[in-house]
Structure 1
Amino acid sequence: MSFQLIDSSDKQTVSLHFINKTALEGKLAEKGLVGSWLGASKFLAEEGSFCLVPNATGQIECVFIGLGNEEDPGIWTLAGLSESLPAGSYQIADSLAEEQASAVALGWALGSYRFTRYKEDTREQATLVWPEKADRTVVLSLASGAQLTRDLINTPSNDMGPEELATAASQLAGEYEAECNVIVGEDLLTANYPAIYTVGMASDRAPRLIDLRWGDKGPKITLVGKGVCFDTGGLDLKSAAGMLLMKKDMGGAAHVLGLAAAIMQSNLTCQLRVLIPAVENAVSGNAFRPSDVIKTRKGLTVEVGNTDAEGRLVLCDALAEADRTKPDLILDFATLTGAARVALGTDLGAMFCNDDELADRLRRHSVEQGDEIWRLPLHKPYRKLLDSKIADLNNVSGGPYAGAITAALYLAEFVEKETPWAHFDIMAYNMSARPGRPEGGEAIGLRAVYAMVKEMVS
């Protein structure tokens, strides 16, 4: 995949110049065609803006890219320009440090994304000559991982059920010589994954546990992703509006596969494991019911307070298995609660973590990568809200408050305190388009986690 990045061009390239508001004042004061044109165009160097400057024959001589008040370009500075600029080849004229060069190249790559499985897109895109000093391995790994994540989320559920999700994982494993095992249907009961089976048993698309393993050296890192390929809500049925975007309820699974792709493509030294409970939460005569008590892999019993809180039920079996092997790190991704979206909106991923040092590292990398996540507390006094009179715990609290926290506290019951663990409650979707972030499936926190893992294994 080229992501509209090229080594060189047979045709003449157009130079791109970054400019902030302070530098623009000096440029406007200069005599000559460029300053005059920028002034006549009323170019203000606002962040994300650009101005095409022609030469004497009317051809594009160069392009100025606004930075606003910033000194250096960031990941979104060139994002979207592959579509906004006239078709042709462009090259950055400014000298950039490796960090900035990699960031703008990645932004360009992310902006070149299109989902074309069902509708051809024939629009011609501009290409960018690879910026000098850009880390091509990191850029291509992250762009590939984000593309896989977006593609999986954007694919509707009729073509992305539990079986198709397992196929995507198997194909990824084949690409990087990883091992991928899948436990299907009633074999889940034999293998002691009762919660996964119970949630998925009402669908004619059998539930399954996907288990991908790669690498035999370095720290043991296990990724767990919620793979609810469509969520009706079960017997606690969602409204039509609430069901409309439920193809994205496997967004956690898409994230861990995309992250695994980036890690494997970069050949980071680690022992990677990916666990995905893949189910469809359907309605039929054998669907699990409110007030049912179900068993879990860890041995804890759970009273079902709401069948629409199914994600934590499938995740708890996978987390128990992840923790069984005592990895150095467990990270899970899930489109788990609307409460997290109420608290942080759709752009910020909510992070819960049982290890302050791990949380600080994740937060630092999220800021540095322009991929911000925000830590919410595992507030222990709220654990009593999950108490049940007839089981070890309930899958929901009895009230409307702190839903994201109580969901995270539920998951925490299945990971030992000594195991470093972080849980990401994410939207996994752009509700509207912005440069580099088209409407549809989106990778949230992927770049931040990749950067932390890369630092961890280096």
Structure 2
Amino acid sequence: MPHALLASANEASKPIWLVTEQTWPDIAGQLPPLAQGFAKAQGFAGKTGSHCLLPDANGDLLGVAFGINGTDAKQSDPFLPGKLSTLLPEGAYRFETEAPNPTLATLAWLLGTYSFGRYRKRSEKAVRLVVPNGVDAEDVSRIANAVVASRDLVNTPTNDLGPDGIEAAARQLAERHGASFTSIVDDDLLKQNFPMIHAVGRASITPPRLIDFTWGEPDAPRVTLIGKGVAFDTGGLDIKPASSMLLMRKDMGGAAATLALADMIMGARLPVRLRVLIPAVENAISSNAFRPGDILPSRKGISVEIGNTDAEGRLILADALSLADEESPDLIVDFATLTGAARVALGPELPPFYTDDDALAADIARHGLAVNDPVWRLPLWYPYQSQLDSKFADMNNTGGPMGGSITAALFLRRFVETAKAYVHFDIFAWNNATKPGRPEGGEVQAARLMYALLKERYGA
């Protein structure tokens, strides 16, 4: 069903003129003199991001003028028109002049209205947009609903969303789409050979688990999604400073992105055999916490020396990757809030991704730009793999002091051998400041681009 903030074409609506500083004089000249004079008095000239509510002769709202980037702008945000959903009074509106990208403008309209209201009442305005011509309202609504649901997960603190809460959210999604769901919990992880997931999560009062659900026809192309589900990360015995823990409820952002993408895939009924794996743990501190210097077995049989207990995400992902790789899927995708080094390299808005598949990398970059879900390829630079060497085990879980996102990706790559293609996204899962379509708080990164890629690759 279309999103509640979308209106039908036959509904009474107010026009929105999307203008630039170059086009505004011509459009202004077509408006009634009162509206022209009011805009002039307000100093509106079509500057990017500015808006002006234009009155009619009765003092009611005639329409809205909004400044967007010109065609020669070096920086252009296709989400910019979505800013209006947070600025306008209640009512229905339509784009009187076409948005540069109507689909992304519509999506940003829906995503920009998001606020997290679990713990306090949020103010909601019924600011609705007539679906522009050529926009698939069902698909845009599907994407927006999936992103909003996963933003809620990232924003929920760990006292209400531990590993069991992540499982509950995944189970609810799987049941809604008719997927087959299982979960391996606590000591059963050891019995079924997931020793690193167990080791990382065993110190928490809430037991660790591996969430596993499948959907689609068994003979369809096999796509496996893996999400890092660390409900909270203290750093373990290598404890983080207090300032670094403030946002650690978002350390399950990879799981949230995975669930968002799975929701889009199943909702669109893409012809794939989907598998979702989420190792869900809390990296806590207790007498039975794993320690620096411990040597852990892994599902794949690779022994891992613990150089730092705060590099726990790659450990739980490694066991999940090994399981995924055992059935040689066509594609494995993992999402993880894995390293601060990725943020140092590229900042919070541009997650790096890693793959050996050049064609897949080109498709990812292309779709990231096309759907305004940007990412940037960094290399799997194999000479750095020596930084993961251990004197006592097959490998260490930490590399050297530099290139930390790359060495983390190289660590994960060791656990994938038979999959036809593999990509790792090192995401931030958070907006530090509000921008059009992207309110401050939990965010879903890289899922929308992968949905677009899978739609193109496998067909709806």
Q: TM-score, normalised by structure 2?
A: 0.95
Preserved contact between residue 3 and residue 110 of structure 1 (Cα < 8 Å): no
Question: Which deviates further from its counterpart, 130-139 or 250-259?
Answer: 130-139
Q: Counterpart of 1:427 in structure 2: which amino acid? A: F
Task: Please tell me whether residue 144 in structure 1 is matched to residue 145 in structure 2.
Answer: yes
Q: In the TM superposition, what are the counterparts of 1:14-25 in structure 2 within 5 Å?
A: 14-25=14-25
Preserved contact between residue 218 and residue 457 of structure 1 (Cα < 8 Å): no
Matched residues in 1 for 2:264 and 2:4: separation?
15
Matched residues in 2 for 1:347 and 1:248: separation?
15
Q: Counterpart of 1:319 in structure 2: which amino acid? A: L
The verdict on how the C-alpha distance between 1:191 and 1:49 changes in structure 2, with shifts beyond 3 A counting, is: same
Of 251, 254, 271, 1:252 maps to 254
Matched residues in 2 for 1:343 and 1:138: separation?
34
Question: Which deviates further from its counterpart, 324-333 or 47-56?
Answer: 47-56
Mark the runs of 5 or more structure 2 residues left unpaired by the alignment.
none
After superposition, give the CA deviation of every residue in 1:98-134 in whole Å (9 maximum; x if it has no partner): x933222111111121211111113424111222321
Of 78, 82, 103, 1:79 maps to 82
SS in 2 for 1:272: strand
Q: Offset of 1:137 from its aligned partner?
A: 2.5
Match of 2:228 in 1: 226
Task: Please tell me whether residue 320 in structure 1 is matched to residue 322 in structure 2.
Answer: yes
Q: Offset of 1:74 from its aligned partner?
A: 6.1
Match of 2:356 in 1: 354
After superposition, give the CA deviation of every residue in 1:5-61 in whole Å (9 maximum; x if it has no partner): 122676x42111221222113335668524443333222323322221111111110
Task: Please tell me whether residue 428 in structure 1 is matched to residue 426 in structure 2.
Answer: no
Task: Please tell me whether residue 437 in structure 1 is matched to residue 438 in structure 2.
Answer: yes
Q: In the TM superposition, what are the counterparts of 1:253-332 in structure 2 within 5 Å?
A: 253-332=255-334
Q: Counterpart of 1:171 in structure 2: which amino acid? A: Q
SS in 2 for 1:80: helix
Q: Counterpart of 1:315 in structure 2: which amino acid? A: L
Q: Counterpart of 1:84 in structure 2: which amino acid? A: L
Match of 1:375 in 2: 377
Match of 1:453 in 2: 454
Preserved contact between residue 76 and residue 107 of structure 1 (Cα < 8 Å): yes
Preserved contact between residue 53 and residue 62 of structure 1 (Cα < 8 Å): yes
Q: Counterpart of 2:229 in structure 1: which amino acid? A: G
After superposition, give the CA deviation of every residue in 1:183-209 in whole Å (9 maximum; x if it has no partner): 000000111100000100111100000
Q: Offset of 1:3 from its aligned partner?
A: 4.6
Q: In the TM superposition, what are the counterparts of 1:177-188 in structure 2 within 5 Å?
A: 177-188=178-189
Q: In the TM superposition, what are the counterparts of 1:20-99 in structure 2 within 5 Å?
A: 20-28=20-28, 32-33=32-33, 34-70=35-71, 75-94=78-97
The verdict on how the C-alpha distance between 1:243 and 1:264 changes in structure 2, with shifts beyond 3 A counting, is: same
Q: Offset of 1:320 from its aligned partner?
A: 0.6
* Count of residue pairs the alignment pairs up: 454
Of 380, 393, 396, 1:394 maps to 396
Matched residues in 2 for 1:84 and 1:64: separation?
12
Q: Offset of 1:75 from its aligned partner?
A: 3.9
Q: Counterpart of 2:23 in structure 1: which amino acid? A: A
Q: Offset of 1:232 from its aligned partner?
A: 0.5
Matched residues in 2 for 1:332 and 1:437: separation?
22
Preserved contact between residue 328 and residue 418 of structure 2 (Cα < 8 Å): no
Match of 1:109 in 2: 110
SS in 2 for 1:236: coil
The verdict on how the C-alpha distance between 1:178 and 1:71 changes in structure 2, with shifts beyond 3 A counting, is: farther
Q: Offset of 1:381 from its aligned partner?
A: 0.5
Q: TM-score, normalised by structure 1?
A: 0.95
Q: Offset of 1:71 from its aligned partner?
A: 8.6
Match of 1:243 in 2: 245
Matched residues in 1 for 2:77 and 2:293: separation?
51
Matched residues in 2 for 1:438 and 1:211: separation?
31
Preserved contact between residue 220 and residue 272 of structure 1 (Cα < 8 Å): yes
The verdict on how the C-alpha distance between 1:95 and 1:345 changes in structure 2, with shifts beyond 3 A counting, is: closer
Percent identical among aligned pairs is 46
Match of 2:160 in 1: 159
Matched residues in 2 for 1:178 and 1:443: separation?
22
Matched residues in 1 for 2:260 and 2:145: separation?
7
Preserved contact between residue 38 and residue 54 of structure 2 (Cα < 8 Å): yes
Matched residues in 2 for 1:346 and 1:15: separation?
35
The verdict on how the C-alpha distance between 1:61 and 1:30 changes in structure 2, with shifts beyond 3 A counting, is: closer
The verdict on how the C-alpha distance between 1:435 and 1:457 changes in structure 2, with shifts beyond 3 A counting, is: same
The verdict on how the C-alpha distance between 1:452 and 1:201 changes in structure 2, with shifts beyond 3 A counting, is: same
Matched residues in 1 for 2:72 and 2:65: separation?
14
Matched residues in 1 for 2:436 and 2:326: separation?
42
Matched residues in 1 for 2:202 and 2:181: separation?
23
Preserved contact between residue 333 and residue 422 of structure 2 (Cα < 8 Å): yes
Matched residues in 2 for 1:374 and 1:36: separation?
46
SS in 1 for 2:159: helix
Q: Counterpart of 1:91 in structure 2: which amino acid? A: R
The verdict on how the C-alpha distance between 1:258 and 1:30 changes in structure 2, with shifts beyond 3 A counting, is: closer
Matched residues in 2 for 1:123 and 1:280: separation?
34
Matched residues in 1 for 2:105 and 2:440: separation?
20
Matched residues in 1 for 2:19 and 2:341: separation?
41
